[in-house]
Amino acid sequence: MERQTQRPLILAIAGLMGAGKTTLARQLCDVFGWSYVPKERVAPEYLADLFESPSRFAFEAQLAMFCSKAREVSKNLAEGKNVVVDRSLDEDIGVFARHFRELGHIDERAYRTYELVTRYILQQIGPTDLTVYCDVNTDTAAGRIYSRARGEERLYPQGHLQNIASYYKDWLDSYMLSPVWLLDSNLADWRTPAVARQIAVEIRDVIENVSNSIPADVPSKREARLMVPYREIQNWRTAIPLSSGPSPKMSKGSIYLAAPFTAAEERRPIPADNTQNTDPAETHGRIPPGPYRSALIEAASAMRRLGFSVTLPHKDVNDWGEKKLLPEEVMRTCTQQVSVCDLFVGILAQSCGSHYEFGLALGLGKPCLIIAPDELSHSFLAQGSRAIDAVPQAGRGELMVQSVKTVFDIPSLFDREEVKEFLVRAVARLNWRFFP
């Protein structure tokens, strides 16, 4: 997905009423420093009239709510501000206007006019960079709606929430205007700022990677959407806030970032009958959202800000353990990715996989940056990695070993002058420069 580099970002928060869109949108604005839209709520002015006399007010209400929000988005973009949109503009068309059309409250002629106007406005605004869909079941949504203080929402007629939920399913299945990131609102509670900051870290990672995630030959955006499930979140740690600037353009230099997986994984639950899982693709666990996952994402982001493209196998090869892959597939893919990278960055610790990848990169003559967090336990061989550089060997790439206190300190590692100098030397043979 190509987007204009000078245009501010549009992040849309989508989902059923009661899914937590407003809470998440406001929390993300606090973390990102972006503008929240809509600040002016038009819906309360119309809902009472709309449900009392829908045939009279449906067309007017839908057009008024859409245009008011679109005007705010356009104004913020013109001022150079990134925006978080609480309910995407396309939802207004594909869910709510459709709902009133299906019920006969907006006739076909009026609907054609509505769609002509709204689609034109959407075209003028430009594409959304990412849509975050807050998934929630109708029972949970109904309970939240009843408990909150928005009196106008209690005007919903019987069956209204279920009807809208069915339209949302159709809308999501056919939506092709941006990548979609799924967030499970039944499990994750982002009212806590720390949870919202963690979600922000993952959203930034998706936005930074989205332009490289859709191959040029993919016939439709729908086939290349990012559909990443989000699970229950525990053990939070403050994440690094996002800047409001656009993502950097990727260069041709590539990094393979190796780090322990097994030591941080969450094992799959044992079946109720206590039988052993014999499927080789099911024997690995998952790395759930949390401090360690956040630290790896931030480390990769720090390298991208220097102009590198980054392969983080935990995410890019097996989706944090969500993909069912055979050991042979993981071994083959990781070996191939190490073989083609320009620079190897590794956290060895006690990880057999990281040790193998480091040895492979070293043997292939790749420049290697080894990071040793003090908080982790390191193998006997990993502790001696500094000695390798003292042994002359023709054809071997340059090696540097750097210590940090914790994995959360890795992004600041790339501000060190000796690391910057190492990176410049390491990629000089590629005939490109990423430092001004």
4-30 pLDDT per residue, tens:
446 799 999 999 999 999 999 998 998
- 351-406, pLDDT tens digit by residue? 999 999 999 998 888 899 999 999 999 998 888 887 776 555 544 568 899 999 99
The more confident residue out of 428 and 270 is 428
pLDDT of residue 72: 95
Q: How many CB atoms lie within 10 A of CB 133?
A: 25
What value does the CA radius of gyration of the chain take, rounded to a whole number of Å?
25
Q: Are residues 263 and 209 in the same domain?
A: no
Share of the chain above pLDDT 70, in %: 77
Residue percentage of the chain with pLDDT more than 90: 34
Cα dihedral 206, 141, 67, 208 in deg (nearest 10): 0
Q: Which of 161, 154, 157 is nearest to 140 (CA)?
A: 161
Range of the domain at 121: 10-224
Neighbouring C-beta atoms of residue 295, cutoff 10 Å: 24
Confidence of residue 250 (pLDDT cuts 50, 70, 90): very low
Question: 86 by DSSP, 3-state: which?
Answer: strand
Q: Kindly report, residue by residue over 59-94, the tens digit of the pLDDT.
A: 998 999 899 999 999 999 999 999 999 999 999 999
Supply the mean pLDDT for the chain: 78
pLDDT band of 321, cuts 50, 70, 90? confident
195/340 same-domain check: no
Q: If you search the block for the tokens 């990131």, which residue do you land on?
A: 181
Number of domains the chain contains: 2
Domain boundary pick from 224, 244, 276:
224
Last residue of a domain, one of 174, 204, 224: 224
- Residue 230 in any domain: the answer is no
Give the orientation angle of helix 108-125 with respect to helix 54-78, to 10 degrees: 10
Confidence band for 95, pLDDT divided at 50, 70 and 90? very high
Return the amino acid letter for 303.
M
- Tell me the average pLDDT across 305-310: 83
Scan for tokens 């790749």, then name that residue.
Answer: 366
Distance CA 399, CA 352 (A): 19
Q: Which pLDDT value is given to residue 309?
A: 83
pLDDT number for residue 45: 73
pLDDT at 126 over 60: yes
Q: At residue 214, does pLDDT exceed 70?
A: no
289 and 418 in a single domain? The answer is yes
More confident site: 161 or 270: 161
Considering only CA atoms, which of 399, 373, 396 is closest in space to residue 386?
A: 399
Q: How far apart are CA 270 and CA 418, in angstroms?
A: 48
Q: Are residues 207 and 277 in the same domain?
A: no
Reference 19, options 172, 129, 125, 122; nearest CA is: 172
Residue with more model confidence, 290 or 248: 290
Q: Do 220 and 259 lie in a common domain? A: no
Same domain for 378 and 316, yes or no, is: yes
Q: How does residue 267 score in pLDDT terms, banded at 50, 70 and 90?
A: low
For residue 256, give the H/E element and its range. Answer: strand 254-258
Residues 156 and 302 in one domain: no
Q: Are residues 197 and 78 in the same domain?
A: yes
pTM: 0.61
Same domain for 291 and 380, yes or no, is yes
Q: Has residue 2 got a pLDDT over 50?
A: no
CATH number of the domain that residue 66 is part of: 3.40.50.300
Give the pLDDT mean for 257-278: 66
d(CA 265, CA 261): 6
Give 282's pLDDT tier (boundaries 50, 70, 90).
Answer: low
CATH of the domain at 295: 3.40.50.450
User: Is 219 in the same domain as 303?
Assistant: no
What residue type is 211 in one-letter code?
A: S
* The predicted structure's pLDDT at residue 389: 60
Highest mean pLDDT among 119-133, 169-183, 225-239, 271-285: 119-133
